Structure 1
Amino acid sequence: MRNYTLKKSFHFLSVTLLIAAGLIIQSCTKKSRSDLGAELFKKTQNKVFKDATPEGLEVVFKDMLQKQKGQLSQPQIITVFYEDNNYDPVFVMDHIFNGDVDLTANYFEKAGQHGLDPGMFKAEQIKKLVAKFKDKKAIKNLDEAYRDIAQLEILTANSLLNYSNALQFGMVSPRKIYQRYYMATKRPDSTSMLATLKASNLKAFLDSIQPKNPQYLALQKALMAGGAAEGMSKEETQRYLVVNMERLRWRNKPYEEKYVIVNIPDYRLDVMENGQSALNMKVIVGEGRNTDNTISLAEYNESYKIDRPFTRETPQLNSQIYAAQVNPVWNIPESIASKEIMVEAGKDPYYLENKGIDVYRNGKIVDDPETIDWGSAKPGQYELKQRPGDQNSLGKIKFLFKNNSSVYLHDTPARSAFNQSMRALSHGCVRVGDPLALAKNLFGDTPAYDTIAKDMDEPKPSPTTLDLSKKIPVYITYVTCWVDANGTLQYRPDVYGLDAVLYGHLKKFLADTDTLATLASL
């Protein structure tokens, strides 16, 4: 995970879009092939095509599109594309006889190299239709000719869109399967899909969309090798690889020169600068539903595909760190106050004072909270705030970034937990192992950092907030398999069960074990 989001990868994606949007796209002007029949006869030497007309083809084409809409992944895009081009059969006319369509089908046949089921892309059907056009006796009459033209166009357009979208954006939208996913993630839109259909050089386009992220290539190589990771079966290893390859296809990767990234299953924070980790440290993340690893890719259950996040799980998100607050007050969330703090206060009337927690009602501090009957108190009746100090659960500093989950990076007085191997222990925020080092990296040698260091060493009774001169992007991610700086594949337990959720939605698109075994033997 250390450098799996290299700046180069994003640069490549940008270049890919430029290529797809400009260098290899046909003119958008509508075509008119009044000599359709003559052109097809010249290309096929089949006399049947002599009587073919654009008008005759259009009737059959429209009817077939209407009947097959339910079988297409993007019926509206395909319909718009052909409507705007007067139902011109661009793949038949421009891409069969130069070998482009056969070549495209070859790419589809190799989809197993991406862990995907080649059958989704109908390569065999496409090749059979192409062969009919190249055999001057295969198509017997004009009705059959029109049907075959329309069928080849629809099949090729649909498969090309499916393949392009899969490699450039992933098969599954993370926003649709995860309840706590708040990362900006680009999905295919009409502009990108129409650009795909308008590509004039199919080989150049298909080469341009092949993922070239070093992390992706490393996982792909491992998948093709077909081995088993230590302590896992071959099948479980393959599942780890394909779900993390899918994550790498999602368009949610950092592109900035400097950013902070937290990988939840690795319990680690890195500050990335120019593609390299400039600072790293252990972190403690929110408690998950699968901390004992009972939900497993090894023995997948169909019910796992439903995301049931534990209330304390840290969300996946991206934002920008804009400030640090030294000696913060902890505004205790109502859920923690009612389920934990108030329960302890009911057992010990001096618990709150000993923990430095003040009680407020209607915005005013309660002078004698030890007299409150916490057993009969209602949720939300009181507000609880923990004063700055050595016992404050946020420690001496927290790093602020906007998000709708009320999470942040912060210090903690409970330092011993960093020695544990399983560190999904918090209420949802991310506790950082070396907050002063993180502050030094973010603020640099500035008066603001000097203030932070001084105030953390000498706690003040009220918080001090210091703004960053330049906001720093922060990404909280979930990756369970990656290649480290030494080229070694790393695997981590699926602490939140999110691999299982993703696999459940992804598996209908995946290559079967026989296909992967065949590829591994090549």
Structure 2
Amino acid sequence: MKISGAHIFTLVTSALVALCIGASSAVAQDDAVSPSEAIDTIEPILSYDTAYNLTLAIQKYEAIVAAGGWDKLSRGTYGIKNGDEQGHVRSLRRRLAATGDLDPNIRISDKFDDEVEAAVKLFQARHGLRTTGIIDQETLITLNVTAEEKLAQLRLNQARVEEAVSALSDRYIVVNIPAASIEAVENGTVQRRHTAIVGRIDRQTPILTSKVHEINFNPYWHVPKSIIRRDIIKFMNDDPNYLANFRIKIYGNDGEELDPASIDWNTDEAVQYLFRQEPGAENSMGHVKINFHNPHAVYLHDTPQKSLFGQNRRFHSSGCVRVEEVDELVTWLLSGNGDWDKLSVDATFASGERLDVRLKQPVPIITTYITAWANRQGVVSFREDIYQFDKQGRVALLAD
């Protein structure tokens, strides 16, 4: 039987737990620090720092579980927001205080005030939700995930981080699929973070390690056969001008361009041909493709669909990874070449020139699957188990 939420406060009082809770509570109450600033500290998600921070987080959640977890919030909590005053706010305050989003020393009341709103926003940011400060359906569902489930998630992800850290170099890129984010890391600190768009559930971004070796400016897009089969055949049946509208040309095995009208779009005939999209504003890779050797034919790239980066669920691709502010990442990657800066990268984008640049110093890249991590401020983050790897208990992500 679970102990009441109020009883958690008297039981979870060890020095370590108080330290962890105090850190995130201070962040929630400090108007000068946004939720994103509280989460995005300089330590990489794959690092000895994160492994240690996860140890502290695990101890914190072990104490919460030992105290009986937290009470489930009722359906009446849905929709409450700043300015509301009702009994459900009291339960919400206890739930937020249990994980340090709200300072547990603040008096419990029925009022949803600025402090509660800041705590809700911190909770939402920690879980990759829209930081509205309102208890919407997704926030309520996430609040009601049990402490036992959170603890199991932390333990599994600590094992993943510990498995990865020994093989890291001084300079590398990490794509964390569940967070749909990218870190550029140098000398043990994050130099840049980028919002990303990764593979949807039925077309997953693969787990891999490789090295970025080449930048393709204003590239052609050679359409994968899987996309021809799954998408383009359907699009052409719906709109015979689809290929022309998106400047996609078809080539036979002899290299000759084919007329789309000569192909039977009611069959899989099109899969045997080469489909190539010309460089330009409509190109699915935008202004740049970032190449690394892998058996999955995936890569990082720009995109013309910038609006997708504003979504909190960014699982839209067919396996490749789209990068927000990609010019900044390209500049960082080419810094070892000595003759590139952001101005020259942006100028090459704008010129439309087809140009391939090999990195003088290839940069390791890791695509991984971390759904729980913690930073040095004691803030613990979680993400949805989008590919169900947590449910499968997968630790050795590169194992067959």
Q: Structure 2 length normalisation: TM-score?
A: 0.64
Q: Distance in 2 between matches of 1:390 and 1:277?
A: 31
1:290-439 residue pairs with structure 2 within 5 A?
310=202, 312-378=203-269, 380-439=271-330
SS state at 1:364 partner: coil
Counterpart for residue 132 of structure 1: none
* Alpha-carbon separation, structure 2, partners of 1:221 and 1:428: 36
* Cα deviation 1:104-127 (Å, max 9, x = unaligned): xxxxxxxxxxxxxxxxxxxxxxxx
Cα RMSD over matched residues? 2.4
Task: Give 1:278's aligned amino acid.
Answer: Q
2:361 is aligned to: 470
Aligned length: 278
Query: Per-residue CA shift, 1:10-67, capped at 9, x if unaligned?
Result: xxxxxxxxxxxxxxxxxxxxxxxxxxxxxxxxxxxxxxxxxxxxxxxxxxxxxxxxxx
**How far off is 1:448 after superposition?**
4.1
Structure 2 counterpart SS, 1:493 = coil
2:344 and 2:394 map into 1 onto residues whose CA distance is 48
> What residue in structure 2 maps to residue 146 of structure 1?
none
Paired with 1:365 and 1:343, the residues of 2 have a C-alpha distance of: 24
Q: Which amino acid letter does the alignment assign opposite residue 361 of structure 1?
A: G
1:246 counterpart letter in structure 2: A
Runs of 5+ unmatched residues, structure 2: 1-39, 70-98, 100-142
Distance 2:174 2:311 in 1: 21
Q: String of CA shifts for 1:325-350, please: whole Å, max 9, x gaps.
A: 00111111111012211221233222
Partner of 2:346: 453
Is the contact between residue 261 and residue 269 of structure 1 (CA under 8 Å) also seen in structure 2?
yes
- Going from structure 1 to structure 2, the CA distance change for 1:483 and 1:467 (only over 3 Å counts) comes to same
**Could you tell me how far apart the structure 2 residues matched to 1:448 and 1:441 are?**
9
2:63 is matched with which residue? 225
Write the letter of the residue equivalent to 1:3. P
3-state secondary structure, aligned to 1:281: strand
Higher helix share: 1
- SS of the residue 2:269 aligns to: coil
Identity percentage of aligned residues: 30
Superposed displacement of residue 407, structure 1: 0.8
Aligned to 2:158: 245
Secondary structure of the equivalent of 2:157?
Answer: helix
Match of 2:52 in 1: 214
* Secondary structure of the structure 2 residue equivalent to 1:380: helix
Q: Deviations over 1:440-498 (max 9, x none)?
A: 111128434565322211213xx311011111111111001110342201111111111
Code of the aligned partner of 2:350: D
Q: Does the CA contact (< 8 Å) of 2:372 and 2:383 recur in 1?
A: yes
1:403 to 1:240, Cα distance in 2 relative to 1, 3 A: same
User: Is the 1:436–1:453 contact (alpha carbons within 8 Å) kept by the matching residues of 2?
Assistant: yes
Q: Does residue 1:265 correspond to 2:178, yes or no? A: yes
Question: Which residue in the other structure is 2:46 paired with?
Answer: 5
| Larger Rg over CA atoms | 1
Separation (CA, whole Å) in 2 of partners of 1:223 and 1:486: 16
Give 1:252 deviation, angstroms.
5.7
Aligned pairs (5 A) from 1:3-42: 3-6=44-47
TM-score calculated relative to the size of structure 1: 0.50
Please name the residue that 1:501 is paired with.
Answer: 392
Residues 270 and 389 (structure 1 numbering): CA distance in 2 closer, same or farther, change over 3 Å? same
Verify the 8 A CA contact 1:282 1:418 in the aligned structure 2. yes
The answer to whether the 8 A contact 2:233-2:265 is kept is: yes
**Alpha carbons 1:269, 1:283 under 8 Å: kept:** yes
Structure 1 distance, partners of 2:211, 2:324, is 20
Matched position secondary structure for 2:386: coil
